[in-house]
Structure formats: structure tokens, C-alpha cells
Amino acid sequence: METITLNNGVKIPQLGLGVFKVADDDSLKNSINAALAAGYRHFDTAKIYHNEDGVGQALADADVKREDLFVTSKLWDNVTTYDDTKRAFEASLKRLQMDYLDMYLIHWPSEGYTEKWRAMEDLYNEGLIKAIGLSNFEQPHLEKLLASAKVLPVVDQIETHPYFQQGTLHGLLHDLNIRHEAWGPLGQGKSDVLTNPVLADIATAYNKSTAQVILRWHLQRGEIVIPKSIHEARIQQNIDVFDFALTPAEMAKIAGLDRNQRGSSDPQDEAWLQKSTTMA
């Protein structure tokens, strides 16, 4: 597994397992066990996924040392203050059965994110979090947060796939020395990206699947990527992407597929952000 060194010196496996919408305990445990067996050591969850308990138990039951794992969780939008951020973090840590987190993210740029960041900075300085970052932050949110931040975020985890490549934000993050982490890297099944003929032709040339080509494209852009699956064969396939490389011409062909087609909520939709603070 290849790793990326974040701006604070912490190393993160470049490819991990996402567990969004995996709430069934058996499916969750089976997918984590399959991932561990395949070589995954990076796992990404969140409070709003309602599966921190299951992730924590599956990892506690596994025959893998805690220091060999990289575990991320995220602070949900209904938390809006400094004190509540600390309490929410402690609750996540308890559910995960851990005494520290490798990475903790603000899930969306909703109400109070500068106060939330201040609390996370203190948790980071106390050694309870190895790295702190953001999710779904666009340029205006980044500018506002960085104006008062004392600790530079290590990542911004944003929706990214061949039909929504985030070129401008990708470049901005590079310039800020904040790593681009891609969620929904395979399009979340909301488009025909997995059957796109350009990607299919490239996949045939390497005797790989279209999904593997897409993941390889993410990796070669320097992104951290967290594909989600509950199927053992796909979990194994998704990590089998370090034995080939796309050519510059192939990378250019994939760049040409961008439709600026977002598949999920827009972080600059203020009405949605306000609504998200009422979700739990």
C-alpha cells in the first residue's frame, strides 16, 4: 500500500475503505474483515453514518495492531459550538473503542465551523487526534477558516469522480498544501461512469476493470481515495491498482470526460446546510 505524507508529517494510506450507508452489522464486519485480509489499513467513517460502533468493534476484534491502522471519523453538522465539538469527539472515540483518532474532519461547512475547528485544534494539540481536516469545503469556506486557523487542515475530502473532477478546487488545495481526498470516487452508482466507453477501452488495454482504472486515475492525480463496497471481490479488486500506471495520454482522455456533474449536495447550498444542522 502506498502512503502519502500529510502537511504535518503524518502518513496516510493513499487508498482506504469507506463505509458510508453500511449500517448492517454483519455487512459492516464482513466488509472490514475482507478489507483487512486484502491489505487495507485505512478506514473512513462518520458520526452520521451511524456505524462507528460497528467499525470500532470489527477493528477491535481484528488481529491488527492499532498503530498499524489509520481511522478517520467526522463531526456532524448538528454540532455547532466549541464545547459540543469536544463532547462529540469524545463520544465518537468511545463508540470506536479507541483512545485516539488518526484523522478527524468537519463533515460540512455548516454553522459554527470556525468554532468547531478551534476545538479540533485543541484536541490535536492534546494528542487525541493525529491529523485534522475538512470535508466538502469550497474556496469561500477555506478562506474564512484559514483566516483564523492556527493549524493548517491536512485534507479536504470532497466529491470527486471522472464526471466531477473538481479541477479548480484540486489546484487550490495543491497550492495550499492541503491534500485532496476523494469521496464517491466511482460516482456512487448515480451515473454511467462505470460503463463509459473511454474508460472501458483503457480498462481492456490493462486487463483491469473500469473501476480500477478510475481509482488509478485518482491515485495518479495525487488524491487519497476511499471507495466503498460491501462485496469481498470488489474490495479485493479496488486495492489491486498499484501494479499498473496510466499514460499521460490516457490521463488526458479521462480529463476530457469531466461534465461538472455533481451527484450529491452542493456545499454552497445554504438552505441544505441549514437543514443538515437538524439531522442527527
107 is in an annotated binding site: yes
- Any idea which residues carry the catalytic annotation? 49
Pairwise CA distance, residues 140 & 35, whole Å = 36
Q: Are 107 and 134 in contact (CB under 8 A)?
A: no
For residue 97, which phi and psi values (nearest 5 degrees)?
Answer: 60, 45
The DSSP code for 256 is: T
**And the C-alpha cell for 151?**
493549524
CA distance 193 to 186: 7
Cβ contact 53:252 at 8 Å: no
* Alpha carbon distance 110, 147 (integer Å): 17
- Could you tell me whether strands 179-183 and 224-225 are parallel, antiparallel, or unpaired per DSSP bridges? parallel
Distance CA 217, CA 223 (A): 9
Which positions make up the binding site for substrate? 107
Which positions make up the binding site? 107
